[in-house]
Structure 1
Amino acid sequence: MDQGQPRVGVGVFVVRDGQFLMGRRRGAHGAGTWSVPGGHLEYGESFEDAAAREVVEETGLEVGGLRVAAVTNDVFAAEGRHYVTVWMVGECPDGEPEILEPAKFVDQGWFGFEHLPEPLFLPWVQLLSSPFLTDVRRQVELGNSVTRGSGPRR
């Protein structure tokens, strides 16, 4: 990866009943840490399309009502990586998540902000200290009521 070129990452809060899905990462980047599903924004993709694609690829779940909730600037100095992470929130009222990319995630579970697993992936540390956290928490806790009138679900 070129150290001079930041990449755009997308992290997705898959919300159900006031909780969200998290997985423990596997692989060189953030191995052993916990985060929500996500990945890289591809050329020409909207944030919503990238979020929906990544969640389906990683978990098999379909997420609706996707919207941007926060942005963090995440520099992994030791790895020579720099990401701008776009945090999305969307609802998934049914279905059970599967680990469809075992090379990327090894465990999954539903969590709330009061009981986060540890250790957390660096972008999470950034998010928890950001001014966006209050709004993200509100959107997660309110779930479907936030998206009323926001258009069709995927």
Structure 2
Amino acid sequence: MNPEIMPRVGCGAVLLRENSLLLVYRKRDPERDHWGLPGGKVDPFETLQQAVRREILEETGLQIERMSLLCIVDQIAPDRNEHWIAPVYIAEDFTGNAAVMEPEALGDVKWFPLEQLPRRLTHATQVALQALQDRDVS
């Protein structure tokens, strides 16, 4: 184990509107050319909910009003020397119109019907979708 590799903290959010999920198309690594939940890194001295609100606003222009924790994603990739821990929230109330706010990082922002999601989904998105399904079943 490499003691110089430390877990990093990310965050993301599930945003649903009329049975459609908001996804962003990633132009950068990790997981370049995949669709994923909007989100990003947690900054020092920032709470998780502050980070989620900031990241969603920065990437999509949407303002999250209320949210609750959906799941925690462990993304461990020794081959890339990466280890991320990413809480994923579900936005229960948000406002605005989704748009690409960071064109250097994102190629598109799009609402997908839950039954017609793209094939290339990020790991965190797959874990969150399973958590969402498990939540709806119980």
TM-score by length of 1: 0.76
Indicate conservation of the 8 Å contact 1:3/1:82, yes or no: no
**1:9-68 CA distance string (max 9 Å, x none):** 101112222322101101121100110100011112121111110011001111121111
Matched pairs, number: 134
How far apart in 2 are the matches of 1:40 and 1:111? 24
Distance 1:59 1:132, change over 3 A: closer
How far apart in 1 are the matches of 2:4 and 2:105? 22
Q: What are the within-5 Å matches in structure 2 for residues 28-67 of structure 1?
A: 28-67=29-68
Identity %: 25
Distance 1:84 1:93, change over 3 A: closer
Q: Which runs of 5+ in 1 are unaligned?
A: 139-154
Equivalent in the alignment of 2:84: 83
Q: Within the alignment, does 1:122 sit opposite 2:123 as a pair?
A: yes
Equivalent in the alignment of 1:20: 21
Deviation at residue 94 of structure 1 after TM alignment = 4.5
* Root-mean-square deviation (Å): 2.1
Q: Which runs of 5+ in 2 are unaligned?
A: none
Indicate conservation of the 8 Å contact 2:73/2:86, yes or no: yes
